[in-house]
Amino acid sequence: PRAILQWNVGSYRDISLQSLSLFRLLEPRIEILVLGTGDRVERLHPTVLKQMRVCGIAVEVQDTPNACATFNFLTSEKRLAAAGLIPP
């Protein structure tokens, strides 16, 4: 349930179905993925978001400081959440 993994993403442009495959493999299966896209919220390709929904994983995209706060809140509520964070 608690792990820190290396995510080979340098910017929001690197977020793809392939880079998100890590989150689809986690056990127990996560409910929500919080993505922090750096200093500001960046739009991800709609196909990427749709595919994650098809896999049963909700995706919340925020700037990284807010993504950290959201992740902490979700885990305090015992939600099965993961975070993909790009440093601001």
| 13-27 pLDDT, tens digit each | 999 999 999 999 999
In the numeric block, the tokens 């440093």 are attached to: 87
Confidence of residue 2 (pLDDT cuts 50, 70, 90): confident
Confidence of residue 1 (pLDDT cuts 50, 70, 90): low
Q: How far apart are CA 68 and CA 79, in angstroms?
A: 14
All structural domains of the chain = 30-85 (3.40.1230.10)
Q: How far apart are CA 63 and CA 87, in angstroms?
A: 9
* Angle of CA points 74, 79, 84, to nearest 5°: 60
- Provide the terminal-to-terminal Cα distance of the chain, rounded to the nearest Å: 26
The pLDDT of 31-52, averaged and rounded, is: 96
36 burial level (CB within 10 Å; 0-12, 13-18, 19+): buried
| 46-84 pLDDT, tens digit each | 999 999 999 999 999 999 999 999 999 999 999 999 999
Confidence of residue 85 (pLDDT cuts 50, 70, 90): very high
